[in-house]
Amino acid sequence: MNQSQNHDESSLNKLDPNWRNDALDLGLDYGMQTIAVRAGQHRTDEGEHSEPIFTTSSYVYRSAADAAAHFDGTKTGNVYSRHTNPSVRTFERRLAALENGERAVATASGMGAILTMCLAYLKAGDHLLAANQLFGSSIGLFNNYMAKFGVEVSYVDCFDNEAWANAVQPNTKVIYCESPSNPLAQICDIGYLSQLCKANDILLVVDNCFATPALQRPLDLGADVVIHSATKYLDGQGRVLGGALVGSDELMQEAFTVVRSGGISMSPFNAWVFTKGLETLKLRMQAHCQNANQVAEFLVNHPNVSTVHFSGLSDHSAHELATRQHHMKNGYGAIMGFEVKASDSRDTKEAAWHVIDSTQMVSITNNLGDAKTTITHPATTTHFRLTAEARAEAGVKDGLIRLSVGLEDVEDIIKDLARGLDSL
């Protein structure tokens, strides 16, 4: 029985290679936006124009011999949707093309992708070296579960190249970072980290959730694996959960085996939502970034704001690096942190809560990467479960607010933020 062959889509049922556009796939020389709209689609002989949703858990065979051939490896094709599904495959192929990777593996959520990364590339005795600013649940997974299975975990100030080099150990197997990071939108030097990893036989894994391939392609900068929480900008409208890994065929085969065995698979419906989301990703990201640049300007000039964490500001310590690393002009992402000042009657936490509670339009929610602007207080929500030390390490202060700038009219977003900031 050789089910490892099942990922090979070469014989997916009822594909007609003569359909126009079916050839538009990985490696062909099309522009990013063309790839986003068309790559990965395989038309069935129904001739559908838009990508269908294959809501099926399993697949039928033409005969007993045909079934046996799918299991002994002489024939490849769909067997079961925990392994492969045409809708999921379309999303994987389109995302892989956008990230310039050989292959993508979809997962049930972003955390599912990060867990898959851990299970595929780490074992007891290995060392995972991670950036100190990460999505809260990533830190929880590493500290609570990877440690439980004997993986050593340590953290480094993500912007400090020397600290990264000094923290590498003989058993370091993975370097893990987000760029821009959560919640302070800090930038890691992916090119530098890639050299460090190559010199020490380490895998570089980059969570590209905040930038998306519309702004940054970590594989082109030397990363080995890209992680996505598709839940965020790839959907972009806050509807469904999903995640993905992207990289070489070899690394993705290891990840695929984990997803298949562990049942971390993406649902076909969610894959369809993400596939359609990718079509407008670049256009949405351009609009998100434009709004974010204006909101950051407003915040940095407000007397009750002490710090704005956003690499789009020209005096931000990582502005130059972000400008170099992001291929979208004036694209610095749309997620920022800002710290409010204490006032006579409010300490920094109360001041932050006042700003959040004074909004009338912006959504108070921990989700991000949505068409709707969202606001949250990391210290008491997303990073609440961390110890005080881990929070301090991640730079999550009591006065910090995280903002995910959406696609509303920017004047309305600014007006909503001004309500609380002006009345502190």
Nearest approach, Cβ of residue 172 and ligand PLP (Å)? 21
- Using CB under 6 A as the binding rule, whether residue 270 contacts ligand PLP is answered as no
Q: Is 370 in the site for ligand PLP (CB under 6 A)?
A: no
CB nearer to ligand PLP: pick between 84 and 382? 382
Q: Which residue is nearest to ligand PLP (CB)?
A: 110
Q: Which is nearer to ligand PLP, 11 or 144 (CB)?
A: 144
Q: Is 102 exposed, middle or buried (0-12, 13-18, 19+ CB in 10 A)?
A: middle
Measure the CA–CA gap between 226 and 109, rounded to whole angstroms: 14
Minimum Å gap between C-beta 245 and ligand PLP is 12
**Is residue 76 close enough to count as binding ligand PLP by CB under 6 A?**
no
Of 65-73, 105-113, 120-128, 265-273, the segment contacting ligand PLP by CB under 6 A is: 105-113
Residue from 9, 25, 189, 207 in contact with ligand PLP (CB under 6 A): 207
First vs last C-alpha separation in the chain = 67
Decide whether 116 or 359 has the Cβ nearer to ligand PLP.
116
Which residues, at least 6 apart from 309, have a Cβ–Cβ distance to it below 8 Å?
A: 183, 184, 185, 186, 316, 336, 337, 338, 339
Residue 70, classified by CB atoms within 10 Å of its CB into exposed (0-12), middle (13-18) or buried (19+), is buried
Span of 31-39, 76-84, 107-115, 151-159 interacting with ligand PLP by CB under 6 A: 107-115
> Would you say 351 or 386 has its CB closer to ligand PLP?
386
Q: Nearest approach, Cβ of 82 to ligand PLP (angstroms)? A: 18
User: Mind giving me the DSSP string for 115-169?
Assistant: HHHHHHH--TT-EEEEESS--HHHHHIIIIIITTTT-EEEEE-TT-HHHHHHH--
Size of the site for ligand PLP (CB under 6 A): 16
Kindly state the smallest distance separating residue 59's Cβ from ligand PLP, in Å.
27
Residue in 9, 185, 178, 150 with CA at minimum distance from that of residue 93 = 9
Enumerate residues 6+ apart whose C-beta is below 8 A from 324: none
For ligand PLP, the closer CB: 59 or 233: 233
- Residue 14 and residue 142: Cα distance in Å, rounded? 43
- Name residues contacting ligand PLP, limited to 228-257 (CB under 6 A): 229, 231-232, 241, 243
Is 188 among the residues that bind ligand PLP (CB under 6 A)?
Answer: no
Q: Encoding tokens for residue 97?
A: 């093309």
Tokens 């049922």, residue located: 13
Told to check if 288 binds ligand PLP by CB under 6 A, we report no
Paired strand residues for 131: 156
Is the separation of the CB atoms in 414 and 167 below 8 Å? no
- Site residues (CB under 6 A) for ligand PLP, limited to 122-181: 135, 137-138, 178
Give the binding site for ligand PLP (CB under 6 A): 109-111, 135, 137-138, 178, 182, 207, 209-210, 229, 231-232, 241, 243
